[in-house]
A = this chain, B = another copy of it.
């Protein structure tokens, strides 16, 4: 029986998760079976279970890995000694880079999390809600410091996060600008849209 070939520097579990992220993104979590996944990895279904317990466990791994990356990033940002508008710019750039470079996992974490089992579902939704509140707090601070226009912070968060998730259609488009150009254009429109005229 074929063995799971692990990538250089990666564990077998990581190899499975990477293949699963690709399939969950392409077909959706519900429509992907462990059999499909085994075929993709090039092994028999039974041997997957040496490394992971269930399809749900893979989804948990993907969702919380992505969520933790964003949570760690905003934690650093909150503690950095820069202007609030610059924090928002860095956050926007981080989101864009994540969805460009780590497309499959970020997409799955953003769209398929609703299939998480409890208590993971509750925890994940909570983590998302808190994350949005932390972005809104940075924006509020920027408004108080006169760096950001007096806007409704949750609306600004909504615009930023949804604009970023639209990069999915950039991924799919045939004649696309480079990732760097995409990032500069998004910063130019969104950060300048938030920034108060000096």
Give the interface of A toward B (CB within 8 A): 149, 151-152, 154-156, 158-159, 161-163, 165-167, 169-170, 173, 177, 181-182, 185-186, 188-194, 197
Set B152, B155, B169: member contacting A158, Cβ < 8 A: B169
Set B152, B155, B186, B194: member contacting A155, Cβ < 8 A: B186
Set B166, B185, B190: member contacting A152, Cβ < 8 A: B185
CA distance A159 to B167 in the complex (A): 9
Which of A154, A159, A177 gathers the greatest number of chain B CB atoms within 10 Å? A159
Given known A-B contacts A152-B181, A152-B185, A190-B189, A163 and B159 have beta carbons under 8 A apart:
yes
Q: Which residues of B contact A186 (CB under 8 A)?
A: 155, 159
CA distance A165 to B166 in the complex (A): 10
Set B154, B161, B177, B194: member contacting A189, Cβ < 8 A: B194
Integer count of this chain's copies in the complex: 2
Q: Which residues of B contact A191 (CB under 8 A)?
A: 193
A152-B177, A154-B177, A190-B193 known, 20 other contacts, Cβ within 8 Å = A149-B188, A149-B189, A151-B188, A152-B185, A154-B173, A155-B170, A155-B177, A155-B182, A155-B186, A156-B185, A158-B163, A158-B166, A158-B167, A158-B170, A159-B163, A161-B166, A163-B163, A189-B193, A192-B192, A192-B193
Q: Which residues of B contact A188 (CB under 8 A)?
A: 149, 151, 193
Measured CB to CB, the closest approach of chain B to A184, in angstroms, equals 9
CA distance A84 to B90 in the complex (A): 30
CA distance A92 to B193 in the complex (A): 14
Which of A170, A182, A185 gathers the greatest number of chain B CB atoms within 10 Å? A185
* A162 x B166 contact (CB < 8 A): yes
* A159 x B166 contact (CB < 8 A): yes
Set B163, B182, B194: member contacting A162, Cβ < 8 A: B163
In the complex formed, the residue of B with least CB distance to A181 is B152
Measured CB to CB, the closest approach of chain B to A44, in angstroms, equals 31
